[in-house]
A and B are shown apart, each in its own frame.
Chain A
């Protein structure tokens, strides 16, 4: 099993550009989530999904969109990038919910100029 994969690993954007961060898992997990990690602030939940076709907002959803058309994929879209979205983004999955053991991807380091 590859586990949770994320692409790209690094990305530089200009303010106002849009892009999609890809996330896929091959463990048939129902729960998937996106976090951002900023220095000294731990990880903060952006969006999550409890199954295909179901998504909901986390703690910091503004400026991000998600969709879940399949169990395996959970892309995160930045609609109009801002410097405040410079961060490291992690995707995670769990067999049941975010309360249980989550498996994290390797992360995407995003810089917005």
Chain B
């Protein structure tokens, strides 16, 4: 299983861009990287997924370097409602070998 490591917590202010990095040094060739957001007392919610280079959707961007040993979730112009825990997930195609990071608690301040 790929080992994933994330910072435990981060602070930011409204309107700033936030970058959260996940380290996955032993990622396998066929593994994909996914990021989830979790609010208290709720299940995680999908944010974005990628394999390599850059992926962007309406809420975030995901940057993956060529060696794929890390990935960075970028949240543009965060608001108070983005205060949550963010998890990276490395998973194989079958979904039977998957590892969540320990989560990064993001606090957005006014």
Chain A residues proximal to chain B, CB less than 8 Å: 4, 31, 33, 35, 40-45, 48, 50, 56, 58-59, 90, 92, 94, 96-107
A1: min CB distance to chain B, Å: 15
Residues of B close to A45: CB separation below 8 A = 96, 98
Residues of A close to B101: CB separation below 8 A = 42
Chain B residues proximal to chain A, CB less than 8 Å: 1, 4, 8, 32, 34, 41-46, 49, 87, 91-96, 98-103
Q: How many angstroms from the CA of A104 to the CA of B95 in the assembled complex?
A: 15
Contact of B32 with A99 in the complex, beta carbons under 8 Å: yes
Contact of A97 with B95 in the complex, beta carbons under 8 Å: yes
Contact of A101 with B49 in the complex, beta carbons under 8 Å: yes
Q: How many angstroms from the CA of A58 to the CA of B93 in the assembled complex?
A: 14
Knowing A100-B49, A107-B43, the reply to whether A58 touches B96 (Cβ < 8 A) is: yes
Q: Which of A96, A97, A105 contacts B43 (CB 8 A)?
A: A105
Q: Which of A90, A99, A103 contacts B93 (CB 8 A)?
A: A99
Contact of A44 with B100 in the complex, beta carbons under 8 Å: yes
Q: How many angstroms from the CA of A42 to the CA of B91 in the assembled complex?
A: 14
B76: min CB distance to chain A, Å: 21
Contact of B100 with A43 in the complex, beta carbons under 8 Å: yes
Residues of A close to B46: CB separation below 8 A = 101-103
Q: How many angstroms from the CA of A98 to the CA of B98 in the assembled complex?
A: 8
A98: min CB distance to chain B, Å: 3
Residues of A close to B91: CB separation below 8 A = 97-99
Residues of A close to B94: CB separation below 8 A = 50, 97-99
Residues of B close to A102: CB separation below 8 A = 44, 46
Contact of B44 with A48 in the complex, beta carbons under 8 Å: no
Q: How many angstroms from the CA of A48 to the CA of B22 in the assembled complex?
A: 25
